[in-house]
Amino acid sequence: MTGNVVLEVGDWLMVEFRSFCLIDDPSAGTDQPEGAPVEDVEDYLPPPDPPEGHDLLTAAPGIVAITTGVFRGMVHVTFRVSDTPPATVDTEEWDTVEELGFRALSESTRIASGEFVPVVGARGAFTDTLTADGAGNYGVRAYERGRHLALGRSRSEDDDYTRERYLVEIWPTGERLLPRRRIKGQAPPLLG
């Protein structure tokens, strides 16, 4: 069960450099108080490595990176945007679940892959902003299944798609920035 879902979109996405991201779209402009220094996501790229004990999510202002198993290849991703926190955490069908807080710097946050440039999904599914309230604090919870199956491999767009599946839930948290937590999953594998 989830919070009040305002957008749910899923599709296959080509990932590169073992990741896909949520990244502020600089063309959308920032939502900073007048006279405040303007932050730019470029100041935080690439995002830092996840801390010990976490390997699925990492974040910096304006960007959240989700680490995949495949180095390059097609993975299936579903984004679920809610205007309230999800009511439950689904731990039954997923291998790993992590959650953290994310601060969006602009009015629009889009999907990016590999080179931190906003992209459109294989069938045009990922065109909407994933931050329903514009700039501000959000919770991000990522679920993964099958990430270990193609660990470190590289596939072209013509190869069979991976069996990696991801669900990313996003919701506004107001003034509160959620702490990082690993909800489910064994010790992170070495992603060399």
Per this entry, what is the length of the chain? 192
Find the helix or strand (DSSP H, E) in which 109 lies: strand 109-113
Domain locations in the chain as residue ranges = 5-28+42-179
The segments of the chain whose pLDDT lies below 70 read 1-3, 26-54, 114-125, 158, 187-192
State residue 95's pLDDT score: 93
pTM: 0.81
User: pLDDT tens, 46-60?
Assistant: 566 666 666 899 888
Q: In the predicted model, what is the mean pLDDT of the chain?
A: 79
CATH superfamily label, 5-28+42-179: Competence, DNA-entry nuclease inhibitor, ComJ (2.60.34.30)
Angle at 96 between CA 177 and CA 58, to 5 degrees: 40
User: pLDDT tens, 136-169?
Assistant: 999 999 999 998 888 878 887 767 777 899 999 9
